[in-house]
Structure 1
Amino acid sequence: FALGLEACREIMQRGANPAALRLYDAFESGVQFALPETNVLLVADEGERTIVDSVIGISEQVCAGSGDRLDGAAIFERWLDTRYLTGKSAEGFQRGPGFVADTLEMAGPWRDLPAIYADVVQAIAAVPGTLAGSAHQSHAYVDGACLYFSLRGEVAVQEREKWYRQAWDAANAVLLRYHAALSHHHGIGLLRAPYMAPSLGTAFPLLVAVKRALDPQNILNPGKLGLSDRLAHEAD
């Protein structure tokens, strides 16, 4: 997976910008493409032929010697057929009453992503009741990328909420350690609210001040972004 991330980084930093550049770890490659012993890197582009040929040419140069060239048509068709399906994080598991599955997306710089991937998967796995943690790289940029983690556990029904929060706490402790972005596109809402203050550090009071200035009665989306408790405490 680290080798695949390095390929994605070089593709982007050499000026190529494929329409799709997605890297799946061995677990998700097995679930999505029935290729459990490899890390699938999918590269696809569209548009003017000259530009597309250049993008694919750069991608092929970067990936030369890094692994086997797979059946690209079959992989791409499978990806097209399933990319909008919800609940993909639960695929491949028996879903009993104590089963829990969710996704966690984040963003960070290329230099940190291999370690973040390894540490988050390990942290999730260390939570009692975890079945599997995995990830794919879903959005790539010149300076970094989004890793999209899946976490799955199975515990007693009454323990589901406890496992869920422990898994999120474990994963986000890693993100905080690497100063990564808590979310790439899903947002903070209530679930990630406990991690906002340590993530923003000395910038968090600025967010509090903006919220107080624009919403002194705290009526707009109360509880979001980890702000309500802080505002109520300061009002006291």
Structure 2
Amino acid sequence: MARLTHSELLAGLEGIVGSDHLSTTEPDRVAYSADFWPKAQIWKLGGDACRFPPDAIVWPGDEAEVAAILALCHEHLIPVIPYGGGSGVCGGTIPIHGGVIVDTKRLNRVLGFDAASATITAEAGINGMHLEDRLNARGMTLGHFPSSIMCSTLGGWLAARSAGQYSSRYGKIEDMVLSLRMALPDGRVLDTAERGPGEPDWNQLLVGAEGTLGLITSATLAVSPLPEARRLRAFRFRHLADGLRGARAIMQAGLKPTVLRLYDPFDSLIALGKESGDEAGGRKSLLHALRDLLSGGGAAGPARGRRGLLSRHLGDLGRSLKRTALTTALSSPSLINGLASAVPSPCLLIFGFEGPADAIHADAWSASELLTECGGTDAGAGLGEAWLAHRYSVSFKQSKLYAMGAFVDTMEVATTWDRLEGLYERVKKVLAPHVFVMAHFSHAYREGCSVYFTFAGYRRDARRAEQHYDRVWQIAMDAVHAAGGTTSHHHGVGMSKMSAMPREHGDGLAVWRALKTALDPHGVMNPGKLFPEDRAAPAEGAEELAP
């Protein structure tokens, strides 16, 4: 098998996409060396801005160009990393062995819309918000609203088995996809719509593969009419267990809420925008300062617009002292977790329904009755409407903590209702000595629910921060498994959770490895992601590619 020099590789790629859609510039190689995995942000804080640079970046314009790129790289053992919006948080696009980044953003067309069948066919690189806008113009919706919708793509959603904020009603992305087209490593194109009798459901084998089996080029999805009306409401619960009981009652009563979210006490404090003028003590000031940082500098609810507690309590101390105080607090997380647990905040539950006006009125009334029976108190519509207005804000809240030298990450896990509270308590307990942690429950289903943990930590230098970060994740994943949960609900696996997969899938990994061997015998597709490999990653073709 012929090995390529760097110049030969570039010539081959240029022959496929043209010089305008090929780059080896330093800024592009830095930009494409990582996604939004927080561990990569720690590397950057330590001055390592480009730990794993790609050899080249290409922007193909159609499926034929994608197939030709993959065939070239397959023939010469060059790693290929599919790339959508770059919004992933699990290291799923990091080119750990170099190779070629294939950015799909030029594959952004809507290929077909069938009003009678309520389906849309679109290319994988289309931006999520643009896809929804195109559907809305036709009176339809996909019903898929991840927090990253403005900076993620259809292909990325499919690759990671994404879930939107309305998953309790519309399902996750794997519930919406009817068929897809994928360029295989050797350049062939697989169309799952051509599935014959008795053949496997290729959709469910390829969705969630994170680019390790091929590159999705387009998909056909089921869509729904835009709702006639929407109704949102909030309830307060004195105890988390009662809120969980209420959420389970709604789902098991056969109701299909558009949104159902329950916040633990500290996360409720953020959602409520609660201010307590009599809590001016130093320790509580730090707690509220952390709250304001995690909520983007102000409340997400009705309190938005009022002067933040960070400004009130620490504003006169100066930027340097604020940083010192908060990083000191994050260096002693047991104390701040204890304070957070003692906060006299109710647990906030937000639910909503959308559809025909008469139907959602009846559903909202039924849900309110169930929540009241479980000990909830009606908190009105305002908090629910405030959540809707600011539901994408979480994607823009982390930069302040990173600017202080700290790190923040999220972990979305899931389990059945009978194990849910135990999993939450176990994870919080094991993480409390190491990071500040809070959580909310969302993506609820009849059988169970996802828990979305947010944790923040600090170490004085990047090397120690990276070690601390790795330890925190390992402790958390071990706790999730011990409680009977899965470590990945909708963010994907990438590099972040790969070590947990053998424990979750056991002998089932043999099935994936057989499929990987059949479709990608040289292991060139996104190596080092999703599942641990039982063979050496491709390197022969990459050794001579350094510019």
Contact 2:423 2:484 in 1 (8 A): no
Q: Aligned partner of 2:411: which letter?
A: L
Q: Aligned partner of 2:354: which letter?
A: E
User: Quick one: distance in 1 between partners of 2:504 and 2:526?
Assistant: 20
User: Quick one: distance in 1 between partners of 2:535 and 2:481?
Assistant: 23
**Helix, strand or coil for the counterpart of 1:224?**
coil
4+ runs deviating over 6 angstroms: none
- Determine which of 191, 210, 213 is the counterpart of 2:515: 210
Contact 2:499 2:532 in 1 (8 A): no
User: Quick one: distance in 1 between partners of 2:398 and 2:243?
Assistant: 24
Contact 2:410 2:455 in 1 (8 A): yes
2:413 aligned residue: 106
**TM-score, scaled to structure 2:** 0.39
- For residues 82-231 of structure 1, what are the structure 2 equivalents within 5 Å? 82-87=390-395, 90=398, 97-127=404-434, 130=435, 132-158=436-462, 159-228=464-533, 230-231=534-535
**Helix, strand or coil for the counterpart of 1:117?**
helix
- Determine which of 270, 273, 290 is the counterpart of 1:34: 273
- Determine which of 357, 381, 384 is the counterpart of 1:49: 357
- Determine which of 383, 386, 400 is the counterpart of 1:78: 386
CA offsets, 1:164-219, max 9 Å, x none?
11111111111222332221111101111111111112222222222122211011
User: Quick one: distance in 1 between partners of 2:258 and 2:442?
Assistant: 11
2:147 aligned residue: none
Q: Are residue 20 (structure 1) and residue 324 (structure 2) matched? A: no
**Helix, strand or coil for the counterpart of 1:208?**
helix
Contact 1:175 1:181 in 2 (8 A): yes
User: Quick one: distance in 2 between partners of 1:53 and 1:86?
Assistant: 29
Q: What's the CA shift for 1:95?
A: 5.7
Gaps in structure 2 of 5+ consecutive residues: 1-239, 275-342, 538-547
Structure 1 stretch displaced more, 5-14 or 208-217:
208-217
Structure with max Cα Rg:
2
Q: What is the total number of aligned residue pairs between the two structures?
A: 227
Q: Are residue 68 (structure 1) and residue 68 (structure 2) matched? A: no
Q: What's the CA shift for 1:53?
A: 2.0
Contact 1:89 1:150 in 2 (8 A): no
Contact 1:97 1:157 in 2 (8 A): no
Q: Aligned partner of 1:163: which letter?
A: H
Contact 1:208 1:227 in 2 (8 A): no
User: Quick one: distance in 2 between partners of 1:216 and 1:95?
Assistant: 40
User: Quick one: distance in 2 between partners of 1:44 and 1:191?
Assistant: 33
User: Quick one: distance in 2 between partners of 1:145 and 1:18?
Assistant: 13
Q: Name the Cα RMSD after superposition.
A: 2.1
Contact 1:179 1:199 in 2 (8 A): no
**Helix, strand or coil for the counterpart of 1:184?**
coil
2:249 aligned residue: 10
Contact 1:89 1:151 in 2 (8 A): no
**Helix, strand or coil for the counterpart of 2:449?**
strand
Q: What's the CA shift for 1:81?
A: 2.5
- Determine which of 367, 381, 391 is the counterpart of 1:59: 367
CA offsets, 1:135-165, max 9 Å, x none?
1112111111111110111221232111211
Percent identity of equivalent pairs = 31
Q: Aligned partner of 2:358: which letter?
A: T
Distance 1:13 1:155, change over 3 A: same
Gaps in structure 1 of 5+ consecutive residues: none
